[in-house]
Amino acid sequence: MRRVLDAFAVLVAAVVIFPIYWMVLAAIKPAGEIQSLHQRPWTLSPSLDAFRRVLAVNDFGRYLLNSLIVALVVVVISGLIAFLAAVALTRFHFRFRTTILVVFLIAQMVPVEALTIPLFFLVRDLGALNTLGSLMLVHTAFTLPFAIWMLRGFVAAVPDELDEAAQLDGASRLTVLWRILFPLIAPGLAATSVFSFIHAWDDFLFARTFIISATDRQTLPMALLVFFKPDENDWGAIMAASTLMTVPVLIFFLLVRRRLVSGLGGAVKD
Amino acid sequence: MKQRFTPLWLLLPAAVVLGGLFLYPMYQLGLISVLDFRQAQVSGGQPTRFVGLDNYVQLFTDPQFWSVLLATVGFAAACVVATLAVGAGLAVLLTRISRVPRLLLSLAAMAAWAVPAVSGSTVWLFLFDTDLGFVNQLLGTEGFNWMYDRYSAFALVGAVVVWSSFPFVMVTLYAGIEAISRSVLEAAALDGASTWRTFWQIMVPMLRPVLAVVVIQSIIWDFKIFTQIYVMTRGGGLAGQNLTLNVYAYQQAFASSEYGLGSAIGVVMMLILLAVTVLYLRTLRRSGEPL
């Protein structure tokens, strides 16, 4: 029985990974094989033509950089703000604490997509249309509730006695915050970062809405659509661009895999 | 760290960001939805005018709105059920297999989870392409366009959604099952309980809180899917046959410059998901989770 289940699991794993395999494969196939009416699940003459087309001709390096800048800024700022809020919500007992927690929980459920229209006008009034800053701003806000919720579990796991002992030794509140709590919850921050990073990296809707005319400020998801053409899609380039977009997330994800699960467990159980 | 005002200082940055970019836009959304707000008002050519519930009346008397609403609910429901079935099934499978297949399956799932929505959409589009797609060539159905028919298009988008969201369900439930003590499961096995019975009568009740989180999260995610629909059906499909509320609101606002109408759709969506959230909070409270 176990053997049958093992074999079934491996089969499922193969099916699940297949689209990713196909994406990378199509990205390195020579143009002739992509256009073929008999697609083979392998290639004997891999080429980097599609990548060259994407990076050199269409300046994809710039969009990659734009996406990276936005995502990293969001990760850092949202992580910092969430850390402070998580400390407030776990280390202190004050009136309305539960209310504030519920508000964050509800904020996490808000369909931010529905806010596209007012946010468009807000960003326009700030004069921030066509800037990467507009994307950093909204994604910092969108990732905040979940980050706070998730970090709370990690801060709660650090025993209270630790900061009390440090305070007795004469450490100021700031010192406790930065020298003691912050390093201890670094693993939690790493897990939280993944979610914030992916959220900002994946965003298509707001990039499409805010970056209207400045093509050099585009991020990856929008830039990718350039290769869809009414007459004939350049599948090789689309797959190469998709691969470029997937690889950073994949690496990030696999690196913090274990912490991700424990972090989710914390967020779910608390 | 016992001074009175410290927690408020620590919460201040979060409050400012969320107030400015959640609360204020939510208020604005409601406001725009009761205004006559179109291209002329955007460019400042005409003043905005309060029109009360006119946008809502126009919306509710439009048969397309009801058809889109129905499609959204149906599509989200199908995605949620499929995601949960696949995720829960594979979570149970993970507990009964050897180490290497388990590692392979969780790595594959993690990889699918990590793939950005846009990349996932384009890859599946290529796999199901009319002539060059591997699937059509495999099935011998070359020339069949999956995006022409409303239901096959929805099914394909749904497949991408399930593919990218089942890992969250699987990983979360698996962690939950692992947390159930071995002895409980062993006792059940000793008493001769079948896998099926163990699942329904031991795991499901013990996993209730985790299941609630997973179900509600899935409902909320699948109800507001935008990227996959927009990219795969090119903004809503032929004659808008694959529109969901989200994409519909976006098109009304940014393609037709009907910002008032688009906001009204946004408000409807907010209210529906708010109802789901309230349900969620009640479930959490009932299961005795301390906040």
Same domain flag for A15 and A105: no
The size of the A-B interface in CB pairs under 8 A is: 284
Q: Is A116 on the interface with B (CB under 8 A)?
A: yes
pLDDT band at A104; cut points 50, 70, 90: confident
Same domain flag for A123 and A25: no
Same domain flag for A115 and A177: yes
* Any domain includes A153: yes
* Any domain includes A188: yes
Q: Is B87 on the interface with A (CB under 8 A)?
A: no
Q: How many angstroms away from the CA of B150 is the closest CA of chain A?
A: 20
Average pLDDT over residues A92-101: 85
Does the pLDDT value for residue B201 go beyond 50?
Answer: yes
The pTM of this model reads 0.90
User: Which residues 45-74 in chain B show a CB within 8 A of chain A?
Assistant: none
Contact assessment for residue A182 and residue A123, using Cβ atoms and an 8 Å cutoff = no
Which two structure tokens, joined as six digits, stand for A23?
Answer: 């994406």
pLDDT band at A223; cut points 50, 70, 90: confident
CA A144 to chain centre: 13
The amino acid at residue B103 is: L
Selection from B167, B22, B15, B184 nearest residue B105 by Cα: B167
Which of B123, B222, B252 to probe by mutation at the A interface, max A CB count within 10 Å? B123
**What pLDDT, on the 0 to 100 scale, is given for residue A213?**
84
Tell me the pLDDT of chain B averaged across its residues.
Answer: 90
Average pLDDT over residues A22-40: 89
Using a CB-CB distance cutoff of 8 angstroms, which residues of chain A are in contact with residue B119? 23, 224, 242-243, 245-246
Count of structural domains, chain A = 2
Q: What is the CATH number of the domain that holds A195?
A: 1.10.3720.10
More confident residue, B4 or A54: A54
Q: How many CA atoms lie within 13 A of B84 on its CB side?
A: 19
Same domain flag for A90 and A165: yes
**What pLDDT, on the 0 to 100 scale, is given for residue A261?**
61
Residue in B22, B132, B226 nearest the CB of A141? B22
Same domain flag for A96 and A223: yes
Q: Read off the pLDDT of residues B22-55 as tens digits, 9 standing for 90 and up.
A: 999 999 999 999 999 888 888 888 888 899 899 9
CA-CA distance, B20 to B70, in Å (whole number)? 33
Interchain proximity A111–B220, CB inside 8 Å: yes
Q: A2-28 and A235-255 helices cross at what angle (nearest 10)?
A: 130
Contact assessment for residue B51 and residue B36, using Cβ atoms and an 8 Å cutoff = yes
Share of chain A above pLDDT 70, in %: 95
Does the pLDDT value for residue A121 go beyond 50?
Answer: yes
Tell me the pLDDT of chain A averaged across its residues.
Answer: 88
Interchain proximity B11–A85, CB inside 8 Å: yes
Same domain flag for A70 and A27: no
Does the pLDDT value for residue A45 go beyond 50?
Answer: yes
* Any domain includes A238: yes
Which two structure tokens, joined as six digits, stand for A197?
Answer: 């990073």
Chain B residue at shortest CA distance from A247? B115
Interchain proximity A98–B246, CB inside 8 Å: no
**What pLDDT, on the 0 to 100 scale, is given for residue B193?**
85
Does the pLDDT value for residue B291 go beyond 80?
Answer: no
Q: Read off the pLDDT of residues B230-256 as tens digits, 9 standing for 90 and up.
A: 999 998 888 899 999 999 999 999 999
Residue in A13, A82, A144 nearest the CB of B108? A13
* Any domain includes A55: no
Same domain flag for A157 and A240: yes
Q: How many angstroms away from the CA of A25 is the closest CA of chain B?
A: 11
Same domain flag for A120 and A184: yes
Average pLDDT over residues A188-204: 89
CA-CA distance, B72 to B277, in Å (whole number)? 18
Residue in A2, A106, A118 nearest the CB of B277? A106
CA-CA distance, A125 to B48, in Å (whole number)? 16
3-state DSSP assignment of residue B36: strand
Best-predicted range by mean pLDDT among A2-6, A152-156, A251-255?
A2-6
Same domain flag for A110 and A236: yes
Residue in B115, B118, B175 nearest the CB of A265? B175
Interchain proximity A221–B11, CB inside 8 Å: no
Which residues are paired to B35 by β-bridges? Answer: B50
Same domain flag for A171 and A250: yes
**What pLDDT, on the 0 to 100 scale, is given for residue B15?**
93
Residue in B6, B18, B176 nearest the CB of A92? B6
Interchain proximity B118–A242, CB inside 8 Å: yes
Q: Read off the pLDDT of residues B105-147 as tens digits, 9 standing for 90 and up.
A: 999 999 999 999 999 999 999 999 988 999 999 998 888 999 9
* Any domain includes A52: no
Same domain flag for A10 and A97: no
Same domain flag for A177 and A249: yes
Q: Which residue carries 């309230």 as its tokens? A: B278
Average pLDDT over residues B2-21: 84
* H/E stretch holding B49: strand B49-50
* Any domain includes A53: no
Does the pLDDT value for residue B202 go beyond 60?
Answer: yes
b/e string for B175-204 if b means 16 or more Cβ within 10 A?
A: bbbeeeeeeebeebeeeebeeeebbeebbe
CATH for B70-286 (1.10.3720.10, 1.20.1740.10, 1.10.10.10, 1.10.10.60): 1.10.3720.10
Using a CB-CB distance cutoff of 8 angstroms, which residues of chain A are in contact with residue B109? 13, 16
Q: B208-223 and B150-179 helices cross at what angle (nearest 10)?
A: 160
Using a CB-CB distance cutoff of 8 angstroms, which residues of chain A are in contact with residue B252? none
Q: Which domain holds residue A12?
A: 1-47
The residue count for chain A: 270
Q: How many angstroms away from the CA of B6 is the closest CA of chain A?
A: 8
* Any domain includes A54: no
